[in-house]
Copies of this chain bind each other. A is one copy, B any other.
Amino acid sequence: VSPQAQHAIAEREATLTKPAGSLGQLEELTAWLGGWQQRATPQLEHVQVLVFAGNHGVVAQGVSPWPQDVTAQMVGNFRHGGAAVNQLARVAEATLSVIPVADLRPTADFTTAPAMTVPEFLAAARTGYDAVPQHCDLLCVGEMGIGNTTAAAALAATLFHGDSLLWAGRGTGLDEDGVRHKARVIDTARALHAHSLTNPLEAARHVGGYELAALLGAVLAARHAHIPVLLDGYVCTAAVAPLGCLNQQGLAHTWLAHCSAETGHAKLAAALGLSPLLALGLRLGEASGAALAIPLVRAALAYHTGMATFAQAAVSERI
């Protein structure tokens, strides 16, 4: 983050025709955007939405009411422009790319083995790292993968402890019995891997998934390239949580776009010190919440760059 850019932004901010601080979090967004872009005048020419897709061996345990084929079918739907995020990205004037990770080969069922080998985990993270474009002013990340709220819950529970039922939600539509079953599946995985989880990245390898690893890689790449990031929902937050666990400032370049209706997301966000821009009850994933927040960032940029100063508008200042 550039203190020079943030100082210049704060100086201009103080001259604009409004009471100090009256635009609330929009003012923080402007400072965040310019600080990470290292530009005194931030820009939003290139906004990129990346959706990573992956499959999960743990669906063999009956944790989703949808067949695994839906992951590949939805990748087709994204490519043909028919999914929710296509519409949300379009109205937000963002470019959308969908990346199937590991050719949609499922991870190992993490109730019986680590989800990924070390090379598999690193390759998936590399896929995410390499997917971030060089010229990007704002990155939005999200995911698609039948069964991946189970991986997210298992990862969150592993990193932050507590009863699995606190982390396991309805996903794409489980009933109460289904959620209890999902929590038991997570318990099994936690017990199996308890002694292998020596660090947050190992946790992500053992109970995460390919698209989660790719999300982690993409958010790391954004950090290296000084690109601010809007995080999507529960799976996305769980996927990047290891970065926050490894370094208290590891997610400082990210802003949580939306607090999901999925059980565990609010708790996970709080554990990571992330404060959501939106809380509209979405629980879809696929970067929908992140795309929905793009216009808020555009609004922050627009007021900051477009408003008149007190001097320009000949408006009296406070007495």
Does chain B have a CB within 8 A of A296?
yes
Q: Are A313 and B24 in contact (CB under 8 A)?
A: no
Does chain B have a CB within 8 A of A102?
no
Interface centre among A80, A261, A277, A295 (most CB of B within 10 A): A295
* Cα of A23 to Cα of B278 in the assembled complex, Å: 13
Q: Are A303 and B22 in contact (CB under 8 A)?
A: no
Task: Say how many copies of this protein the assembly contains.
Answer: 2
* Cα of A20 to Cα of B174 in the assembled complex, Å: 12
Interface stretch (choices A50-58, A151-159, A208-216, A279-287): A279-287
A295 contact set on B, CB distance < 8 A? 91-92, 295-296, 299
A26 contact set on B, CB distance < 8 A? 280, 282, 292
Interface stretch (choices A2-10, A31-39, A62-70): A62-70
Q: Are A25 and B280 in contact (CB under 8 A)?
A: yes
- Contact pattern, A 297-313, Cβ under 8 Å of B = 1, otherwise 0: 01100110111100011
Q: Which residues of A contact B (CB under 8 A)?
A: 16-26, 65-67, 69-70, 73-74, 76-77, 80-84, 86-88, 90-92, 172-173, 261, 277-284, 288, 291-292, 295-296, 298-299, 302-303, 305-308, 312-316, 318-319
Interface centre among A16, A22, A26, A82 (most CB of B within 10 A): A22
Q: Are B25 and A281 in contact (CB under 8 A)?
A: yes
Q: Are B280 and A24 in contact (CB under 8 A)?
A: yes
State which of B23, B292, B312, B316 has its C-beta within 8 Å of the C-beta of A288: B23
State which of B17, B21, B65, B277 has its C-beta within 8 Å of the C-beta of A280: B277
* Cα of A277 to Cα of B295 in the assembled complex, Å: 14
Q: Are A24 and B66 in contact (CB under 8 A)?
A: no
Q: Are A19 and B284 in contact (CB under 8 A)?
A: yes
Q: Are B87 and A302 in contact (CB under 8 A)?
A: yes
Q: Are B315 and A74 in contact (CB under 8 A)?
A: yes
Q: Are A302 and B91 in contact (CB under 8 A)?
A: yes
Q: Are B316 and A282 in contact (CB under 8 A)?
A: no
Minimum CB–CB distance for A58 against chain B, Å: 16
Q: Are B18 and A284 in contact (CB under 8 A)?
A: yes
Q: Are A86 and B306 in contact (CB under 8 A)?
A: yes
Give 13 A-B contacts (CB < 8 Å), ordered by A residue: A16-B84, A17-B83, A17-B84, A19-B172, A22-B282, A23-B288, A25-B280, A66-B316, A73-B316, A76-B313, A81-B306, A86-B307, A278-B278
Q: Are B22 and A82 in contact (CB under 8 A)?
A: no
* Cα of A55 to Cα of B83 in the assembled complex, Å: 49
A173 contact set on B, CB distance < 8 A? 19-20, 318
Minimum CB–CB distance for A185 against chain B, Å: 17
State which of B16, B21, B82, B91 has its C-beta within 8 Å of the C-beta of A299: B91
* Cα of A172 to Cα of B312 in the assembled complex, Å: 20
**Nearest-neighbor residue (CB-CB) of A70 within chain B:** B316
Q: Are A22 and B283 in contact (CB under 8 A)?
A: yes
* Cα of A14 to Cα of B281 in the assembled complex, Å: 17
